[in-house]
Amino acid sequence: MPNVGKSTLFNVLTRSKGAQAANYPFCTIDPNVGIVEVPDERLEKLAAIVHPAKIVPAAVEFVDIAGLVKGASKGEGLGNQFLAAIREVHALCHVVRFFEGGDVIHIEGTVDAKRDRETVETELALSDLVQVAKRIDKCRGAARTGDKVKIRELALLEKIETALQGGQLASGLAWSKEDFELAQQFQLLTLKPIIYAANVSEEQLKTVPLQKAKEALGLSESAEVAMISAKVEEDLQELTPEEARIFLAELGVTSSGLDRLIACAYHLLGYITFFTAGPKEVRAWTTRRGASAPEAAGVIHTDFQRGFIAAETIGYQDYVALGGEQKAKAAGKLRIEGKNYVVQDGDVMVFRFNV
């Protein structure tokens, strides 16, 4: 929704004042894009062994967009065309307003987390319905000529269309692995995992338990909800680390909401980190849990995946405990892994490839 704190949160996440945040609805018109480095203390440990010219942490890109209102699909507010800016993202962070803050305008006049969540999700579903209808149109001709792939695609699109029309999100369908993979190319917003950021007041941060926030949103226990106060986070960034620690202790929490949000995102997306370590750079890369060695190689370069031969792999613990690649190799801890190897969090890897 407009004016709920999206740009305020974006600014603290990206440690910038890049997005204009102000007390009026539709403050954001064009999307703001920002890159955030993922903090990982293992990078320093690896660098202490390898002494690289530079260290490159993993990065997450955030896109801050305008707010959706009821009827956006029919052109209300800023409409919904700006959703094109997030069709390719891996996950959505839905900021829902919990704080009352009398002078901050709420477009519906009152604060109601469940109503707002449903309004936005309905608009996302309506936007997906348009996408799906377009694809169905494109598919039909080819399916009629007997194209097997298109027949399957068409059946899946029609199933999704029915679900969306019935008020269900695409993510709510029972998915087979094959269908889920096929559906990724439809770039549906309602198939993306969602993290709900409950934007609470300083007071609510102390008094509202997570469970209550989930209930207020009308969500089940398994939903990913992060309680965060964009205002508090904004204030925190003005403080020294020591002052911030005292401030957090007074609030009765140990970590900032940003850290909780990042942890939520990693959990939700099922991400793991693997490393490359050489004299040029020590670098962290992100892939999904369960990724094969070629898939991880493809994160670095598509050629690495296409021409994948093997992955020289050392577990992070071995690498650090033994003091680097040569010593790990001498101790028999360097493994030559093939294309079926499932990458483990912290693996230090060198890919052999040929294209």
Exactly one of 12, 13, 14, 21 binds ligand GTP (CB under 6 A); that residue is 21
Distance of CA 279 to the CA centre of its chain: 31
Size of residue set near Mg ion by CB under 5 A: 4
Tokens of 61: 């890109």
> Among residues 14, 122, 229, 305, which is the contact residue for ligand GTP, using CB under 6 A?
229
Which of 63/142 has CB closer to Mg ion? 63
* DSSP designation for 208: -
Closest CA to 275 of 296, 248, 305: 296
Which of 26, 101, 8, 112 has the alpha carbon at shortest distance from 69?
26
Is the Cα torsion angle 236, 237, 238, 243 positive or negative in sign?
positive
Q: Which does 231 bind (CB under 5 to 8 A by kind): ligand GTP, Mg ion, none?
A: ligand GTP
**In the set 4, 7, 120, 192, which binds Mg ion (CB under 5 A)?**
7
- H or E segment to which residue 144 belongs: helix 113-144
- Which one of Mg ion, ligand GTP, none is in contact with 3 (Cβ closer than 5 to 8 A by kind)? ligand GTP
Return left, alpha or beta for 188; rule: phi > 0 is left, psi -120 to 50 is alpha, else beta. beta
Torsion of CA 163, 166, 171, 177, to 10 degrees: -20
Q: Please state whether beta strands 348-353 and 335-337 pair in parallel, antiparallel, or not at all (unpaired).
A: unpaired
Q: Which of 231, 322, 328, 334 binds ligand GTP (CB under 6 A)?
A: 231
Q: Which is nearer to ligand GTP, 8 or 305 (CB)?
A: 8
Q: CB 301 → Mg ion: shortest distance, Å?
A: 35
Pattern of binders to ligand GTP over 187-226, x per CB under 6 A?
------------x-x-------------------------
Choosing among ligand GTP, Mg ion, none, which partner's interface includes residue 298 (Cβ < 5 to 8 Å by kind)? Answer: none
- Tell me how many degrees the CA angle 97-14-255 measures, rounded to the nearest 5: 65
Binding-site member from 14, 28, 131, 256 for Mg ion (CB under 5 A): 28
Using the contact rule CB under 6 A, the part of the chain among 32-40, 165-173, 227-235, 304-312 near ligand GTP is: 227-235
- Out of Mg ion, ligand GTP, none, what residue 22 binds, judged by CB under 5 to 8 A for its kind, is ligand GTP
Instruction: Name which of 85, 27, 44 is nearest 61 in CA terms.
Output: 85
CA distances from 273 to 39, 40, 173, 241, 315 (A): 11, 9, 30, 26, 12
Q: Which is nearer to ligand GTP, 52 or 77 (CB)?
A: 77
Which chain residues interact with Mg ion by CB under 5 A?
Answer: 6-7, 27-28
Which chain residues interact with ligand GTP by CB under 6 A?
Answer: 2-8, 21-23, 25-28, 66-67, 99, 101, 104, 199, 201, 229-231
